[in-house]
Structure 1
Amino acid sequence: RCPDFGVHYTYSVDGQLPGVMQQLIVINSSLTVVQTERIKLGALYQKIQKSIDRPGVLQSLIAGAGETALPKFQGRYRELQRDLNQLAQKYGPEHPQVRKLRIDLEAQERKIDDERQRLIDVAKTRYEVVQDREAALLARHDELKREVQDLNEKAIRYGRLKRKVESNQRLAKVLIDRLGETNLNMKMMGGTKFELVDPAEVPTVAINYRPVHTMSITGAVGLIIALGVAAGLGFLDNRLDTPDDMAYLGFPVIGTITQHKASRDNKSQGGVEPVLMLEAPSSPTAEAYRMLRTNVLFSYADPPRKVFLVTSAHPNEGKTTVSVNLAFAMSQMDRRVLLLEADLRNPSIHKFFDLDGRMGLSELLLREDYDGYITPYEGNLSVVPTGERPPNPSELLGSKRMEQFLAYAREHFDAIVIDTPPILAVSDALMLSPLVDGILMVIRSNMTSYDHARRAISQLLTLRTNLPAPLDQAGIAQTPGVSLGLVMNYLDPRAGRTYGYYGKYNHYYTDS
């Protein structure tokens, strides 16, 4: 099944999807232009309708509706009016020339009325044409979105089938090798001649069996069964354990954070994890945060980007710990850094800094002056906790006031790190994603499954169609222009020895 599936969908995944995404970006741009024009023409047409009985206002509105002879008609009307007044005073109202001028004046007035009506009709027609254009673009936009979602689902299915085929191919190779050995043994035995020396009889006493031989065979069979069970369980377990597993998601892995002993001890006692950038700056985990900082700053250096959203698929993956330590690491590079806690439902950043969490983001967004709510902490780092929990967190984070505050923060800080709730739990992170420059998705080792991580990424991409391009791995669909990086968190230090400088040279930091 899989080869046929690959032939059918390889073009769709690797060739068609980037083109569809490019079409979607073009449609979005065109839709913005058309909607702006529709609003403009709609407002003009409504004003014209309301000003039918107000010639002065109507005149100023329809002047921009298109090319018109109206000024010429009105000029001629004024000339006839002037001539009529002069002749009427000179010859009287019943003079033939006065009567003729009066008829010409009425005809000219009808021309002016006809031209006004024509311009009103032109404004209405232009408005209706733009409405039709907008409806067509919206329909095409919805069609392309459905097509992108369908291609993403097919890409995921193809990736699963491909891994299954590779596993079956390895198993088939083992079976073929075993079959070859069996055939060879049978051929060798075929050349051996046997003759009956003593017929078999039913024994009358207990047989002296060979326990060592029997145990060897039993052990070998048990080992084969155990290996088969282990292989089956490994195939069914699709949790992401190492950075190599994350490569199948199709996006760059920009950080690998090992679990520090102090973090494990504090979590087991129900406390807050220590800020390792302050309390253990020479540890391998602190060096991992510095490497993450370097990757973030240099990956998004051209064009320069400031606002970074940190999220995860599920709770308890360590996104808040990553946010706090990343903000500290950035501030140590002589950069003004703002750490913003946007997890309004389950706040915890204020516990790291021992701050009063009752005054923060939820109150800041209701004020014009932000300075009193931004708390300088240490060096170049400033913190904004959540404040009181609002009744509508998603709407507040997606509001115009939030957009205005981020614009203010861009002017006053070199980097803004935003801690947000998990994507699959609530929609808060999705509301903020269009307002940021880059997204860091934290994935906990040996906890987050491939399917859940992929679903969380797909929800982000639905809103971020204009977000460096992901990697081309294992048939995963490509989406151009998405500033999304993956961070593996809580990696077992024993596994982390093979990933990165800080793990490979772990003894260096331990000795220091």
Structure 2
Amino acid sequence: MSDTPPGTTGSHPFTVRDGRDSRDGRDSSSRSDGDRPNLLIGDLVDNLKRHRFAAIASFVIVAAFVLGMSLITSPLYEAKATLSLERTRQAVELNPRLQSENYSAGNYEFDFLNTQRDIMLSRGVLESAVKGSGLMQSPDYQSSQDPVRLLRQRLRVATNRDTWVLTIALQDKDSQRAEAGLQAVIDAFLAVQAKRKVDRGQDAIDFLESEIGEAKKKLAVAQTEQQQFQSEKGIFNTDPDKSYPAQRLTALNSKRVILGEQLGALEALVKQIRDSDAKPDATKRLESLLKVEFINRHPMVSEQHKLYYELLAQESLLSQKYLEKHPRMIEIHQQQATKRTQLDQVVEMVKNSILADYDKIQAQLPTLAERVKKEETELTTYRDNVLKLQSLSDQTRVQQQMYEQLLKRIGEERVSKRLDAQYLSLVDAPAAGTDAVNINPTMALVMALLLASITAIAVPNAIEMIDRRVRGPDDVREVLEREVLSTIPYVPYMPALSLANDAESEPELAESYRTLRAALRLMLRDRIGCQRIMVTSYNEGDGKSTVASRLAVSLAMSGVRVLVIDADLRSPSLREEFGQECPRGLSSLLAGESDMVPMPTRFPNLDLMDAGDLTSNPGELLNSHCLPEWLDHCSHSYDFILIDTPPLKAVADGLIVGSYVDSILVVARDGETKRSDLHTLRKELDPLAKKILGAVVISKTDPLKLYGAYRSQQSHDAMTDISHG
């Protein structure tokens, strides 16, 4: 049977994680809290199962509290009424919060609507309502130190800006008292409005006249500032691109482009001219200048050049008739020299004109660039002035709109004063419903269940956050910085190997030890010879002795020779596990007794060296030279030597034994071992860090979750493995 358990591919301890091979059992770096995986639904379910009593208690308490609060809450009945406001001829309300800028922003009508709400909620109106109604007969109002404040708390006024309707609602424990109280509030509000109605019209007109005067002054100031600014800055066109600076800048840029083109054409000519002038010989210099196309095609140069060539032709004809010293030949030579001089002068004149034009253009460009820069500055200033003018124009327009709105408003007020119209009307009289508005049994039940469920989920997870014990292989891997070689399911009341008829009577347990066996072989496959492995833990009761004994049995069943040693000389336990009592054991061997050999067990290929009698100096015995010498001797007879040591928290015996072994296995219990304990263990084993192969986790998780997919095959696999062993 293969040592690799079926179905372990997805969770194999040597899978590549994040692109790194973790075969050596160590991540490249310890993971921070931010790198930990997110909480999954399965984790939530596991937390609920672990802390189910806390979840149930919190669920019951919260549900009972919410339902109890709903039961003891006094029912409140709500009476509602509706008032309509006339929008066409209402008077101006002198609301202190109303500022002049609200006119320009279009908020005046909305402020008027809000003013009516503020008046209804004012202390004067509510005091009149309390005195003129039966509200004081209610125990709530009688016991309240401020009945007006209580009435304001129970009174709600909602405004609708689209329909200009005031919806008023009053809550009370008695529906009839709610209707009467709401009617008293409306009557008090209408009485206050009627009292203010007498002086309101004239006050509104006076107020608007003063506002109109101020608005007119502001408008005149804004218009004057705009005109003065436009005149001072010389702004005749609000489009900067069509202004005089823009036009001048366009013309200058065009001129600069033309000069640039001319300069580019002249630069080639000037270069040819200067190359020709550099020649020392006058004849070659003239010939080179005549090769310049612009000079050669000049009318004067062409004319002189033509005449010069004609003289050369005459010389050729005369040379056929006369000798060089003939008067006729001397005359023609003189004419040629004169014409050559004239040609030189004409070429020089044309050349100088080209150079003069070149120098002139070069001299014009800096001046032109300065003019362009100046015009650009003027155009930028012009643009800024246009923006400032637009801002002044906007201010003038706002002041104009404000002034016109005030004129329109004062006209409406004068008409309203003459009409003396009633702008408030009762649309719906106060009426109370038959059902309480603050109690909804269905909603209370839903809220109770919802809040209780949330609390029941939150409490176990809060406990998990506070609890510092390791939860699952990931926590052990993170703290120990080594891979988890196998997860051993916790089996309550598991019998010792000496009492069990079959070492693999628990299929899930046997499968987990086969996983551990396969992991060990993978980790140690490159090593030769006997492998001495120490099994240790930090706390007593973590299960290291059980892991050591059952791992030894699993290895022995695979056909290798195994020796398991109980090196816990203070509290040995392997004798109970295997059911073999041996008064002379490791302690006797280390004390110097000879002829000490391991005892065979009832499991094939497995021998046991018991701790022997308890001694008073176990540390000194383990630190003697006998133990490493005896281990070297046994290494020739066994393939694996497993050593069970005391917990590191109690004594340092494990550190002594660890110096004699090849590898170390750390055992931790899921939900029992603290993270701080693993940190301490890792620190204590730091000198032996390279020997730590990994960890074995004793998990409380249901074994069916670990190996449910293979449960139907486990019994058959176990029997096959035993027969092969």
TM-score normalised per structure 1: 0.54
SS at match of 2:685: helix
3-state SS of paired residue (1:265): coil
CA drift of 1:203 comes to: 3.8
Q: CA deviation at 1:216?
A: 1.8
Matches within 5 A, 1:484-503: 484-494=693-703, 497-498=705-706, 502-503=707-708
What residue number does 1:460 align with? 685
Structure 1 residue 379 displacement after superposition: 2.1
Task: For 1:337 and 1:231, locate their aligned partners in 2 and report how far apart those are by CA, in whole Å.
Answer: 44
Equivalence map 1:102-117=2 (5 Å) = none
Among candidates 474, 493, 503, match of residue 265 of structure 1: 493
| Residues 1:327 and 2:552 are matched in the alignment | yes
Q: Is residue 220 from structure 1 mapped to residue 93 from structure 2 by the alignment?
A: no
Residues 410-454 of structure 1: per-residue CA shift (max 9 Å, x gap): 122111000111111211111111111111111112111222112
In percent, how many aligned pairs have the same letter?
26
What is the CA-CA distance between 1:456 and the residue it aligns to? Answer: 0.9
Contact 1:443–1:488 (8 Å) recurs in 2: yes
Cα distance 1:449–1:275, how it changes in 2: closer, same or farther (>3 A)?
farther
Alpha-carbon contact 2:160-2:166 (below 8 Å) kept: no
Residue 287 in structure 1 maps to residue 511 in structure 2: yes
- 1:391-420: per-residue Cα shift (whole Å, max 9, x none)? 111221122111111111112211100011
Q: Whole-Å Cα distance in 1 between the matches of residues 484 and 694 of structure 2?
A: 6
Partners of 1:399 and 1:503 lie apart in 2 by 48
Q: Is the 8 A contact 2:534 2:664 kept in 1?
A: yes
Q: Which residue of 2 aligns with 1:66?
A: none
| 1:463-474 alignment runs, 5 A limit | 463-464=687-688, 467=689
1:386 CA drift (Å): 0.7
1:15-26 map, 5 Å: none
Gaps of 5+ in 2: 1-28, 40-157, 176-433, 718-725
The 1:203/1:258 distance shift into structure 2, 3 A limit, reads closer
Per-residue CA distance 1:106-130 (angstroms, 9 max, x = gap):
xxxxxxxxxxxxxxxxxxxxxxxxx
CA offsets, 1:206-243, max 9 Å, x none? Answer: 96332111222233333334433333212112322322
Label 1:388 to 1:197 Cα distance change in 2 as closer, same or farther (>3 A). same
Structure 1 residue 306: Cα displacement: 0.8
Are residue 379 (structure 1) and residue 379 (structure 2) matched? no
CA deviations over 1:38-66 (Å, ceiling 9, x no partner): xxxxxxxxxxxxxxxxxxxxxxxxxxxxx
Is 1:196 matched up with 2:166? yes
**DSSP-derived class of the 1:197 partner:** strand
Q: 1:301 corresponds to which residue?
A: 525
Distance 1:197 1:330 in 2: 85
Query: Judging changes above 3 Å, is the alpha-carbon distance between structure 1 residues 282 and 231 closer, same or farther for their aligned structure 2 residues?
Result: closer
Contact 1:241 1:491 in 2 (8 A): no
Going from structure 1 to structure 2, the CA distance change for 1:353 and 1:229 (only over 3 Å counts) comes to: closer
Per-residue CA deviations over 1:277-332 (Å, capped at 9, x if unaligned) read 93335712112112211211221122235100001111111111111111111112
Aligned to 2:675, which of 450, 459, 464?
A: 450
Q: Is the 8 A contact 2:511 2:714 kept in 1?
A: no
Contact kept, 8 Å, 2:535 with 2:642, in 1: the verdict is yes
Tell me the equivalent position of 2:486.
Answer: 255
Distance in 2 (CA, whole Å) between partners of 1:190 and 1:432 is: 85
- Tell me whether 1:232 sits opposite 2:447 in the alignment: no
Q: Give the conservation status (yes or no) of the 8 Å contact 2:498–2:576.
A: no
- Hey, what does 1:509 align to over in structure 2? 714
Give CA-to-partner distance per residue, 1:172-208, whole Å, 9 cap, x none: xxxxxxxxxxxxxxxxx99996943344153425963
Q: Distance between the aligned counterparts of 1:192 and 1:290, measured in 2?
A: 78
Cα gap change, 1:190 to 1:355, in 2 (>3 Å): farther
User: Residue 332 and residue 164 in structure 1: after superposition, are their counterparts in 2 closer, same or farther (change >3 A)?
Assistant: closer
Q: Match for residue 77 of structure 1?
A: none
Distance in 2, matches of 1:367 and 1:438, equals: 26
Counterpart secondary structure, 2:541: coil
**One-letter amino acid matched to 2:166:** L
Distance 1:164 1:244, change over 3 A: closer
Tell whether the 8 Å contact from 1:493 to 1:503 is kept in structure 2 after alignment: no
* Aligned 1:46-57 pairs, distance under 5 A: none
Q: Which moved more, 1:304-313 or 1:220-229?
A: 220-229
Q: Say whether the 8 Å CA contact 1:338–1:417 is kept in structure 2.
A: yes
Secondary structure of the corresponding residue to residue 200 of structure 1: strand
Match of 2:32 in 1: 159
The alpha carbon displacement at 1:347 in A equals 0.9
Q: 1:164 to 1:320 in 2, by over 3 A?
A: closer
| Change beyond 3 A, Cα 1:489–1:201 | closer
Aligned partners of 1:374 and 1:326: how far apart in 2? 18
Do the aligned partners of 2:590 and 2:622 also contact (CA within 8 Å) in 1?
A: no
Residue by residue over 1:65-108, the C-alpha shift from the partner in whole angstroms, topping out at 9 and shown as x without a partner, is xxxxxxxxxxxxxxxxxxxxxxxxxxxxxxxxxxxxxxxxxxxx
Kept in 2, the 8 Å contact 1:422–1:429? The answer is yes
Distance in 2 of aligned mates of 1:200 and 1:220: 30
What are the equivalent positions in structure 2 for 1:7-46 lying under 5 Å apart?
A: none
Q: Which residue of 2 aligns with 1:134?
A: none
For structure 1, the residue ranges without an aligned partner over 5 or more in a row are: 1-154, 168-188, 468-480
- Distance verdict in 2 for CA 1:302–1:201, change over 3 Å: closer
* 8 A contact 2:472–2:699 mirrored in 1: no
- Maintained 8 Å contact 1:398/1:431: yes
Q: Given the alignment of the two structures, is residue 339 of structure 1 paired with residue 547 of structure 2, yes or no?
A: no
**1:249-285 Cα distance to aligned partner (Å, 9 max, x none):** 210111111134xxx235xxxx746677933357121
Letter in 2 for 1:248: E
Aligned to 2:629: 404
Distance 1:419 1:191, change over 3 A: farther
Report if the CA contact (8 A) 1:439-1:485 is conserved: yes
Aligned residue identity for 2:174: T
Contact 1:282 1:509 (C-alpha < 8 Å) held by counterparts: no
Return the match for 1:436 from 626, 636, 661. 661
8 A contact 1:337–1:382 mirrored in 2 = yes
- Is the Cα–Cα contact under 8 Å of residues 277 and 325 in structure 1 kept in the other structure? no
In the alignment, is the contact (CA less than 8 A) between 1:430 and 1:460 conserved in 2?
Answer: yes
How many residue pairs get matched?
A: 307
Indicate the RMSD between aligned Cα atoms, in angstroms: 3.2
The 5-angstrom pairing of residues 178-197 of structure 1 reads: 195-197=165-167
Q: Is the 8 A contact 2:497 2:578 kept in 1?
A: no
Query: Which AA in structure 2 matches 1:265?
Result: Y
Query: For the structure 1 residues 458 and 407, does the alpha-carbon distance in structure 2 shift closer, same or farther, using more than 3 Å as the test?
Result: same
> Which residue is equivalent to 2:613?
388
Change (3 A) 1:213 1:419: same
Query: In structure 2, what is the Cα distance between the partners aligned to 1:207 and 1:198?
Result: 18
> Counterparts of 1:61-72 in structure 2 under 5 Å?
none
Find the residue that maps to 1:418 and give its secondary structure.
strand
Letter in 2 for 1:257: I
